[in-house]
Each structure stands twice: as structure tokens, then as C-alpha cells.
């Protein structure tokens, strides 16, 4: 199975700086640069890349993703949060995963991972390694103390090749970058705000890896990188990371066991449909997958879902949010309008799906 390292990749257009995510399913992320924060910074500690890489590397894992439904595998990196195997990584690393195999850098052991939860909008996920114990853990810093021009180190499984992590260093150039992610397969978009931008050539496979400061503390989760298009135009290579404070707030929400409209907890439930916004309101079915709950219940292309368990559904996003708080095997009662205007009530039971 082909293995492709995942990372957000930057493409520079002629008139507008943009960033593109090249995932294993051809996802593309457009980045609109944010405003560079201006601050009077204290004297910064010099960064020793080799020293910091040695401190941080032992608290990383390599993640192999099996997404056989798409006919290809992928790879990324994770950060060890607890000695019993809670792993912080990027959501896009585990998106679509039917199974996850994780190799701990420190002990070389291989573990099967389960997804504890994720926030797709913030591109953060939390995993658990079965049978893990006594793993070296990352020392977490705070992203609130980061400064423009501060040197940091991005470290992870560059290229998705496994083995020891590789690292690149560079100065922080932006503390509030905005990334708009577009999936080239279905043209959906996702905004990532408040990203840390670093002038460093981050590579595929380093997604989910650590952005570390000169003391060896993890201050961000690597998510994005500039692409070949930028370099071809003589533009500087940049990497992007989710601030660690943002990531750990999401981790705390996942650990609480309470889902929200954005944070999903546990196994992913699926209705088995692709939907788009309907006019004037609702979620219109653009595809109903064979063998999945919606199709088995008679929902077909062109049907519009207008309510879930009595709650109005006005957009495709609203339907996703409603399902996000449910679990596999949960029953749903849907209000559905056919293309000819007929309305009906449809009862379904959600199936288990892959992280979305």
C-alpha cells in the first residue's frame, strides 16, 4: 500500500499568497495570510536545533493510516501527552482512517490506536494507544509567550518514511495566520485561524508533529507548509502550526467526554450521505452510499433533509453538526422532502464510519 506523508502545503499565486493542503486524497488548502502581530519582545534564548531535536524527538510517534476505502495509505506524526499513550496529532492525519498503527520513537514498539475524539475545524485529534505504558512524554510550553522572530524547531516524520524524526528550524513570522482548506474532491472548505507561521521548509509527514521552542517545550502542532509553487516563484518556505494552548483546550474538551458542535467524541457515526446546502433551506442529498443507513431507509439523491429529531436543519453544515454529537447505533428521526415536494418521516439507525 502506498504511503503518503500528510501536511498542509503552500502555493503562491501571482496576486495572492495562498496555501494548499495536499493530502492523500488530493485535498487542497488555500491560505490567506493574516496580520503579523507586532510586539516588543524580550531577549530570546538562542535555539540549538540538535539539542532541542534530541529532547523532543523521544516524545513523538510515527502514525500509519490505513484508509482502504480510498485505496491508499498515509502517514503523519503525533506527540505523546501521557505515559499510557494519549497522542496529540492533526485531524487531517487521521481523517478517513479505517485503522491506525503507531510506532513509538523511544521504544520502537508498534501499537494499534483508537480515536478518542477530534475537532476537524481546528485540525486537532486525540488518540489512545492500546497497551502502552511508560512512554516518554512531551514537555508542553505555552504559545501565549511566543514572539515574532523567535526561533523554533519543527520536528516530525518528514516524507512519511518512518524511523527517526527530522527537523527544520526557523523564525516565527506570524502569530495569527489564517488558512482556508479546500478539498479538491468535493470543494468543501475549512478555515484554520490563529496559526503560528514559521519561516521553515516543513514537509509532508510532519503534520501532527511538534513545534518546539529553544527550551525544548512544545508550543505548537505542525499542520501546514509552503509548497513547490512558492519555492518556484522564489517565495520563502513557511510552515504553520496550531498553537499548543489552542490544541490543549480541545484535548481537555475531548477528555471531558462531552461533545460539542465542533468537537466529536469517540467513534464516528455516519448517515452515509453526501449533502449540499438546499434552497431555500435544508441539506440536499447529493449521494447516498450503498449499504449505509440513509440509502437502506429509502433516502435518495435529491431528497432534502429538513429536520433531525424535531430540530430544524437549514444547511449541510447543520446536518453534520447534528450527527457529530451522536454515536454509532443511535436512532434518528428525519424529516425529508422529496424532489417533487412530498414530505415524509424516515427512521434510521446510525452506522459506524471513519473520522470525517
Percent with pLDDT over 70 in the chain: 81
What's the mean pLDDT in 171-196?
74
CATH number at residue 111: 2.40.10.120
278, pLDDT greater than 80: yes
Task: Report whether pLDDT(348) > 80.
Answer: yes
Are 296 and 339 within one domain? yes
With CA atoms as reference, report the closest residue to 191 among 25, 17, 32, 9: 32
Q: Report the distance separating Cα 78 and Cα 100, nearest Å.
A: 12
259 plus 302 within the same structural domain: no
Q: What is the CATH number of the domain that holds 336?
A: 2.30.42.10
pLDDT above 70: residue 20? no
Residue 336's domain comprises 267-353
pLDDT score of 13 more than 60: no
Check: CB of residue 94 under 8 Å from CB of residue 7.
Answer: no
**Residues of the chain above pLDDT 90, percent:** 69
Q: DSSP assignment, residue 44?
A: P
- Residue 45: the pLDDT is 83
Which of 266, 298, 332 is the last residue before a domain boundary?
266
71/127 same-domain check: yes
- Nearest in space to 179 (alpha carbons), one of 8, 3, 1: 8
What is the pLDDT of the chain when averaged over all its residues?
A: 86
Q: How far apart are CA 117 and CA 272, in angstroms?
A: 20
In angstroms, the Cα distances linking 164 to 48, 225, 289 are 18, 20, 40
Let me know whether 274 and 125 are in one domain.
no
User: Do 91 and 230 fall into the same domain?
Assistant: yes
First CA to last CA distance, the chain: 21
Do both 226 and 237 map to the same domain?
yes
Question: Which 3 state secondary structure label does DSSP give 71?
Answer: coil
Q: What's this model's pTM, rounded to 2 decimal places?
A: 0.85
Do 145 and 277 share a domain, yes or no? Answer: no
Residues 173 and 307 in one domain: no
Q: Which pLDDT belongs to residue 158?
A: 86
The span from the CA of 354 to the CA of 179, in Å, is 24
User: Average pLDDT, stretch 61-78?
Assistant: 79
What local confidence, expressed as pLDDT, does residue 37 receive? 43
Render pLDDT for 23-47 as a digit per residue (tens, 0 to 9): 433 333 444 444 444 445 466 789 9
Question: What is the gyration radius of the CA atoms in the chain, in angstroms?
Answer: 21
Give the Å distances, CA to CA, from 36 to 44, 176, 355.
18, 7, 33
**Same-domain pairing of 90 and 11:** yes
* Residue 10 in this model has a pLDDT that exceeds 50: no
CA angle centred on 195, ends 129 and 252, rounded to 5°: 40
Cis peptide before 280 (omega within 30 of 0): yes
Residues 244 and 301 both lie in one domain = no
pLDDT of residue 68: 58
Distance CA 48, CA 324 (A): 43
pLDDT tens figures, 211-246: 999 999 999 999 877 765 566 666 778 899 999 999
Report the number of distinct structural domains present in the chain.
2
Instruction: Report the pLDDT value the prediction gives residue 2, as an integer from 0 to 100.
Output: 46
Pick from 146-150, 232-236, 261-265: least confident: 232-236
Strand ranges inside 207-272, DSSP E:
210-212, 218-226, 239-243, 263-265, 268-270
Which of 44 and 326 is assigned the larger pLDDT? Answer: 326
Are residues 30 and 77 located together in one domain of the fold?
yes
Find the mean pLDDT for residues 267-294: 96
Query: Are 297 and 262 found together in one domain?
Result: no
Domain stop point among 248, 266, 284: 266
Give the mean pLDDT of 47-52: 97
Tens of pLDDT, residue by residue over 98-123, are 999 999 999 999 999 999 999 998 99
Cα separations in angstroms, 174 against 204, 240, 306: 21, 9, 42
pLDDT of residue 187: 45
pLDDT, residue 55, reads 96
**Matching residue, cell 502545503:** 9
Q: Indicate whether 19 pLDDT > 60.
A: no
Amino acid at each position: 500500500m502506498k504511503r503518503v506523508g500528510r501536511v498542509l502545503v503552500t502555493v503562491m499565486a501571482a496576486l495572492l499568497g495562498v496555501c494548499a493542503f495536499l493530502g492523500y486524497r488530493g485535498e487542497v488548502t488555500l491560505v490567506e495570510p493574516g496580520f503579523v502581530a507586532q510586539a516588543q519582545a524580550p531577549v530570546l534564548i538562542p535555539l540549538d536545533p540538535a539539542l532541542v531535536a534530541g529532547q523532543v524527538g523521544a516524545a513523538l510517534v510515527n502514525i500509519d493510516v490505513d484508509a482502504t476505502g480510498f485505496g491508499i495509505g498515509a502517514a503523519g506524526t503525533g506527540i505523546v501527552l501521557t505515559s499510557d499513550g494519549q497522542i496529540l496529532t492533526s485531524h487531517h492525519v487521521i481523517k478517513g482512517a479505517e485503522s491506525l498503527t503507531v510506532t513509538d520513537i523511544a521504544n520502537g514498539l508498534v501499537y494499534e490506536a483508537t480515536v478518542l475524539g477530534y475537532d476537524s475545524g481546528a485540525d486537532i485529534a486525540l488518540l489512545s494507544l492500546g497497551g502502552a505504558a511508560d512512554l516518554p512524554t512531551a514537555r508542553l510550553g505555552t504559545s501565549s509567550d511566543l514572539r515574532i522572530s523567535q526561533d523554533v524547531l519543527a520536528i516530525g516524520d518528514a516524507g512519511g518514511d518512518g524511523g527517526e524524526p527530522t527537523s527544520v528550524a526557523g523564525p516565527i513570522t506570524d502569530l495569527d495566520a489564517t488558512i482556508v482548506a479546500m478539498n479538491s474532491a468535493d470543494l468543501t472548505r475549512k478555515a484554520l485561524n490563529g496559526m503560528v507561521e514559521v519561516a521553515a521548509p516543513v514537509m509532508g509527514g510532519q503534520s501532527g508533529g511538534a513545534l518546539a521552542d529553544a527550551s525544548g517545550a512544545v508550543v505548537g502542532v505542525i499542520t501546514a507548509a509552503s509548497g513547490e509553487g512558492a519555492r518556484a516563484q522564489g517565495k520563502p518556505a513557511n510552515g504553520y502550526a496550531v498553537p499548543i494552548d489552542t490544541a490543549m483546550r480541545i484535548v481537555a474538551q475531548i477528555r471531558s467526554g462531552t461533545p460539542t458542535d465542533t468537537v466529536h467524541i469517540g467513534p464516528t457515526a455516519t448517515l452515509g450521505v453526501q449533502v449540499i446546502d438546499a434552497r431555500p433551506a435544508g441539506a440536499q442529498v447529493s449521494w447516498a452510499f450503498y449499504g449505509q443507513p440513509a440509502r437502506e431507509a429509502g433516502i435518495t439523491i435529491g431528497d432534502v433533509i429538513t429536520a433531525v429529531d424535531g430540530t430544524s436543519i437549514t444547511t449541510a453544515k447543520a446536518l453534520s453538526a447534528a450527527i457529530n454529537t451522536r454515536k454509532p447505533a443511535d436512532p434518528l428521526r428525519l424529516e425529508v422532502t422529496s424532489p417533487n415536494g412530498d414530505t415524509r418521516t424516515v427512521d434510521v439507525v446510525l452506522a459506524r464510519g471513519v473520522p470525517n
